[in-house]
Structure 1
Amino acid sequence: MARLSAADRRAQLLAVAREEFLRSGADGTRIRDIADRAGVNVALIYRHFDSKEELFEAAIVEPLDELASRLLAEATGLAIGDVGVTEYTYAYYQSVLRVFSETIELFGTMLFGDRETGRTFYTERIVPFIDATAATVGSNLAAWEHRPFDPAITTPMFVGMCWGAAMDAHFRGIELDVDATARIICEITFHGLGTAEAFPGRR
């Protein structure tokens, strides 16, 4: 059997470690468990990572950091005026649903595995994304007719819908229909917050 390069071995160890951390959490996972699943000895793991904490950082935290940055870019990277408020909102929900559905286990491990770790990750990574979204909504309130509302309150609610839809699909073992779900949440957004004049068919 051909020996793996250092880069390939590191990638293999990260993949195995990620599975173990997702299954048992950071506290419940041992380096020995990861070594056994990877078919290597413990010493080899320590050639690539100094500690279990460093391995957790590389396997779980760093990918989530990249995803949180991606979410933040989605919240700030497109001007509503370029596409229209409805189209922008639909595309935004698609992006958020896609990220959540692809990474629900990673987010769950990070947010709920350890209380302080989860709080830190949420305040440093998720809150900036939610706040940036709320700021975008607030700066474009004149783009559509709506009832008075506070984006700081409604934004976490609608992000929560995306999270809930992704979580439900994950635990049911079904594929999330991102486009259809985004369309429904978009309709809830505009029909729920819009004025009767803007949506005359609404009762």
Structure 2
Amino acid sequence: MTDTPRRRGRRPGAPDTRDAILAAARESFARDGFDKTSVRAIAEAAGVDAALVHHYFGTKRKLFIAAVEIPVDPEQVLSGLMAVEVEDLGRQLILTIVGLWDGDAGPAAVALVKANLSAPDPAMLRSFLTEIVLAAIGERLTSGDHVALRTSLTASQLLGVLVSRHILKLDPIATMPLADLADMVGPTLQRYLTGQLS
């Protein structure tokens, strides 16, 4: 009697289960957004127990990050932004977000934005921006007035800089040192966040 060699690695079917969860998550997040999507609903759509979703991905936010295929961990980005004073958020946004695009994550970030902007409904990118990044920034605004408008204006300016620098490669924005760019654009972002809007 010969011993059957033991299978190594993941158990059979595990990649299919993970892929089914991701597919259900992408559909749910695109349709309902981050806040209105529950782990239980994703599990039901994937035909698995909710415990398996937590087993593979941990939290709903980590599942969202995996579903969107964001090339950076938003938690690291947000922790850097949360560490500065509110009065310095405008400049820090440029240093942090544009700095990421200038680094190793840049090509993947450009590909992600191009794919979402050319989609019929860029719901995933919109949900990531509004319900994760901008919502966290909005919570820090103490003025309490027009938070949605302030964060939307900030996003429009920031995306304009990113597209000009990395997709259109519009000089001198494309080749300007990051610190200089932060000095020039940061005050505009800061006005959107904490200054007078009219």
Query: TM-score interval w.r.t. the shorter chain?
Result: 0.3 to 0.5
Structure with more of its chain in helix, by fraction = 1
- Give TM-score scaled by structure 1 length: 0.46
- Give TM-score scaled by structure 2 length: 0.47
Larger RCO (CA under 8 A, 6+ residues apart): 2
